[in-house]
Amino acid sequence: MVAEQDSAGQGPRPIDVALLASVFVIAACGLLYELAAGALASYLLGDSVLQFSTIIGTYLFAMGIGSWLSRYFEDQLPAHFLRVELMVALVGGALPAVLFLANAYAPGAFRFLLYGMVMVVGTLVGLEIPLVMRILKRNASLKDLVSKVLTFDYLGALAVSLAFPIVLVPKLGLVRTGLLFGFMNAAIAVWALVLFKHELRNLRAHAWACALVLLALGGGIAGADQLTRLADDHFYQDRIVLSSSSPYQRIVVTQGRQGARLYLNGNLQFAQSDEYRYHEALVHPAMAAHGAPKKVAVLGGGDGMAVREVLKYPGVESVVLVELDPAMTDLFKSNAMMTALNGNALNDARVSIVNTDAFHWLQQSTETFDVIVVDFPDPTNFAIGKLFTNSFYSLLDKRLAASGYAVIQTTSPLIARQSFWTVVQTVESVGLTAKPYHVHVPSFGEWGFVLASHRPWREPGALPAGMRFLTLPTLRLMFDFPLDMARVPTEVNRLSNQVLVNTYEREWGKVEH
């Protein structure tokens, strides 16, 4: 890196090199706190587009406030810079831990803390760069100063934007990552203490402040797992036996008197005590009706439970499981407790796992399948909502054999009645025949599914051995809808409007959890 040469032709001053390097770290830390806040809001509040949009907007607004306030810092600029770095280190570094604890112990205060801390961190980060530029301006022209500071600022942002989803969250988790970057901000303050020790009026006080902040953040890093476990243990009813964070979601498995439960981003995905009801109802109406399915695709369902049910048909030759998050499939393929639940289905020789976005996979695939099981989470945000659109079902149509059946997990027709029938309407809009049905799963209540095909669904004459819930008479009853779940007029869910996400949020928002 090249710093400004003075009029005498001398090389870069060490102090300028150090300050420009600090700009890189400052930018990386500032963006990390913004990404962490957005990720946490998406994990805990849902609707990733809304959460990231509001977090980024709030953060940038706060940075503008900080930049405006920098005009009032005139004397002792190095001392102000050092103190700002320590405050950013404490507030930004502690942000993920504080928000996790707030979600567990004071959920009513979560949003206030979220946006309050984002405002504080954004304001402090907005102060950092103007202070650095004014310190550097002592020995540099404005043109070169701006270009170099902004270059290092953007490079720092690029570095952390790549490292955050690929390395930091998967390897360290959000709490430890936040504390680590807070430690880096504090290290910049120590650097400033050394560089400007002759300008600081109260060197001892600043040194003690640096030491205390570093000690607090270092202790937090060492105890990050305990902090996360403390929040999780309070939030979940049963004992946590496994927890991890991936770039896509937070995965928690608990164990209680009724067995294991899987939670993704705090939302229950299955309970061991009754998951068989859900998965038998999901898989067998399509598989048994086909008669002789050989090629099957399962979209979503990274826990392998749907695959377990598919493999009950001896004629099945191949199963492709398309799951976005490799952390899910790795867990349910290798963990002994999880493989016991799914019958070791993901290690079956007939099963191949593809970790990619199902929408893109359908676009690129040229295969056709006898049965396609669509087991995505409910459309809580636009990223998932695209998997419930007419564009997605048009792609599904192309991958479905002429005699094949697809089945789609479709939320509760009782609680989210309009959402359920929106999916039915959307399936029909692409020319597929839709056959809706429902089943009672104690952990979830009344739950709905939709069969989609090129031909009318026919009632199967037999089911495979090993059923715990489903029988032919029971199956027949699932297609009857009482008055309070009967069809209502709805719109088609399109990529361009995603009406389903808003409808779903409105309907489930009426339910007190």
What Rg value do the Cα atoms of the chain yield, rounded? 27
How far apart, in whole angstroms, are the C-alpha atoms of residue 298 and residue 137? 60
Q: Which two tokens stand for residue 19?
A: 């300050």
- Quick check: 343 and 272 in contact, CB under 8 A? no
Helix or strand run (H / E) with residue 155: helix 142-163
How far apart, in whole angstroms, are the C-alpha atoms of residue 128 and residue 81? 7
In single-letter form, the type of residue at position 382 comes to: F
Residue with tokens 């900080």: 66
Extended beta strands in 89-208, E state: none
249 assigned to a ligand binding site: yes
DSSP string, 402-463: EEEEEEEE---TTTTHHHHHHHHHHHHHTT-EEEEEEEEETTTEEEEEEEEESS-----S--
- Quick check: 237 and 231 in contact, CB under 8 A? no
Examine the residue annotation and report whether 375 is marked as an active-site residue of this protein.
yes
428 assigned to a ligand binding site: no
46: left (phi over 0), alpha (psi -120 to 50) or beta: left
- Quick check: 23 and 133 in contact, CB under 8 A? no
279 assigned to a ligand binding site: yes
Please say whether the dihedral angle defined by the alpha carbons of residues 373, 268, 363 and 397, taken in this order, is positive or negative: positive
Residue with tokens 């659109």: 389
39 assigned to a ligand binding site: no
CA neighbor of 89 nearest in space, from 194, 218, 227: 218
Give the active site residue among 153, 370, 375, 397.
375
Annotated binding site: 249, 279, 303, 323, 357-358
Residues known to be catalytic: 375
Annotated binding site for S-methyl-5'-thioadenosine: 249, 323, 357-358
Annotated binding site for spermidine: 279, 303
